[in-house]
Amino acid sequence: MSLTFISVAGLSEDLAVSENIFLQVSAHDVRQRLDVFLSQKLEQVSRSAIQRWIELGHVTVEGERRKANYVLKQGQQITVVPPPPEPVELVAEPIPVKIVYEDDVLVVVDKPAGMVVHPGAGNRRGTLANALFHHFREISRVDTIRPGIVHRLDKATSGLLVVAKNDHAHDFLSRQFKARQVEKRYLTLVHGRLKEKEGVVDVSIGRDPWARTRISTRSRRRRQALTEYHVIRYYSDFTYVRAHPHTGRTHQIRVHFQHLGHPVVGDETYGRKVAQHLKDPSLILLIKNLGRHFLHAHFLAFVHPDTKQRASFETPLPPELAEFLSGLG
């Protein structure tokens, strides 16, 4: 079974591929090849796709077309005009789904790290949407690219997601998310030692003006973002934290802890430089072998569409994160 749609999904789950991207070459990026530079900045786009965009003229440097091996100079502005979105076929795939709870109107699933929520650029198959399309005959928004999907998690984030089986449940749950009435809690391990055992980060965020796949506190179009946190345990080089986002901005927890100077462990986008400066080589290797960032959506609570009663769900850390903590002693 399959359905075909025109994809408006983006370079990641939240950033639209149809928008032009503007990047500036910093002193750190000087003398890099054009394709290497773009691969680093546009992390969700494959190297081969970037080279194809360059060859077809979708990338310009100071308004001129260049080859993939062109060596960049400081201050140059690069413009990426992505090609029109291609049709995406949503194919039902028998991918295992870990079901935490199910009834007639909704399902709560525990998404593993590495699984994209719905198809988009570079992710045509193997998504949660493909799996849901296979497993559930009754599901909301069945004629869209995101059947049942009420909210999302980043690809490398594991944890709880609620899926709607009918349009009434979908609308009811969506209104709760929009009104910030859904309670979400995450378990995360961050670099360094947080000074305060609990606190609130109230810092507006938006798309980074120079790297459109990133979110930043420097954005010109910032939106309010608020994250409450409580320290669970201190380790010698890390802090284990429970984070409670009161808003649902893209990459919110990851950007907020980066803003505090304590990025999430394993976060290649916002914490790579901090990880490289760890003194213990074994810790650097441990993080590299983790293969994901340490962020898990372990708690979810909302008002049930049918019973109108509060329903809450929890899921423990996945094995790879639990083993990582054990490795820290």
Residue-level pLDDT at 9: 34
Backbone angles phi, psi at 179, to 5 degrees: -85, 5
Q: Using N-to-C axis directions, what is the helix angle for 34-41 and 47-55, rounded to 10°?
A: 130
User: Are 106 and 162 spatial neighbours (Cβ–Cβ below 8 Å)?
Assistant: yes
Q: What is the 3-state secondary structure (H, E, C) of 69-109?
A: CCECCCCCEEEECCCCCCEEEEECCCCCCCEEEECCCEEEE
Residue-level pLDDT at 178: 92
> Which residues in the chain land under pLDDT 50?
2-17
For the annotated catalytic residues, the residue numbers are: 154
Distance CA(291)–CA(300), nearest Å, equals 25
pLDDT tens profile 190-208: 999 999 999 999 999 998 8
Residue-level pLDDT at 103: 96
Distance CA(179)–CA(192), nearest Å, equals 34
pLDDT tens profile 235-254: 999 999 999 999 999 999 99
pLDDT tens profile 207-235: 887 776 789 998 878 999 999 999 999 99
Domains of the chain in sequence order: 19-80 (3.10.290.10), 87-179 (3.30.2350.10), 185-293 (3.30.2350.10)
**Cα 313–Cα 257–Cα 210 angle in degrees, nearest 5:** 115
